[in-house]
Amino acid sequence: GQQLNQSPQSMFIQEGEDVSMNCTSSSIFNTWLWYKQDPGEGPVLLIALYKAGELTSNGRLTAQFGITRKDSFLNISASIPSDVGIYFCAGISSGSARQLTFGSGTQLTVLP
Amino acid sequence: ETGVTQTPRHLVMGMTNKKSLKCEQHLGHNAMYWYKQSAKKPLELMFVYNFKEQTENNSVPSRFSPECPNSSHLFLHLHTLQPEDSALYLCASSQASRDYNEQFFGPGTRLTVL
């Protein structure tokens, strides 16, 4: 089956620093989604990307759909304590009946 | 609040018990999903319902039995589970007729099988 390689697995950063994480695949995806999951809660959709090369922002978050359609990255600028959580990428390919394939997540810890 | 609710939030059951998880979406969507989330593993898709019809069953053991009486409600019936079935069970919904399949998740049910 399709797989997404998400990295890094975990990050420890100081409050105020910028963060970058990415997902790569050997398959082409038509849509990339980024979710955040807080402890004890379900994933919440942050950003959706629909076109290769697209760059989309949501507040301090910026995500890009890679030109090759096989990767995507998420940047968080000026991190704050409430950014703590697990960030997941998810992709939809044309041959997957529009089902999501999820990455394994990046655990972000923000130190005061 | 994503518009998808799940009950109960926590469930502890023995291997011989029968229980049910409930999901309800208030978004007017027509597709609903069950996922299993175990520690250190990606989300695993279990079942998909489009317009109340099951369209996907990802080789899930028969001790998990889904039910979708209408496009707003989804159940997962559990019986004779194993300890390795302990996980967070997430429900999601989407608008299946759209070209883009953004899924919205509920808060999950934390299941512990003793």
How would you write the pLDDT of chain A (112 residues) with one tens digit per residue?
Answer: 567 899 999 999 999 999 999 999 988 998 999 999 998 899 999 999 999 999 999 999 999 999 999 999 999 999 999 999 999 999 987 665 567 889 999 999 999 8
What local confidence, expressed as pLDDT, does residue A55 receive? 97
Strand ranges inside A18-96, DSSP E: 19-24, 31-37, 44-49, 55-58, 61-65, 71-76, 85-92
- Is B105 in contact with A33 (Cβ distance < 8 A)? no
Is A105 or B51 the better-scoring residue by pLDDT? A105
Q: What is the C-alpha R_g of chain B?
A: 13
Chain B residues touching chain A at CB-CB below 8 Å? 2, 4, 6, 40-43, 45, 48, 55-56, 90, 92, 96, 100-108, 110
Of the candidates A42, A45, A97, the beta carbon closest to that of B107 is on A42
What local confidence, expressed as pLDDT, does residue B9 receive? 96
Question: String of b and e for A82-105 (b: at least 16 CB within 10 Å)?
Answer: ebebbbbbbbbbeebebbbbbbbb
d(CA B50, CA A30): 21
Of the candidates B6, B41, B105, the beta carbon closest to that of A43 is on B105
What local confidence, expressed as pLDDT, does residue B1 receive? 67
Per CB-CB distance under 8 Å, the chain A contacts of B110 are 40
- Is A88 in contact with B90 (Cβ distance < 8 A)? no
Rounded mean pLDDT, B25-44: 90
The helix/strand/coil state of B84 is helix
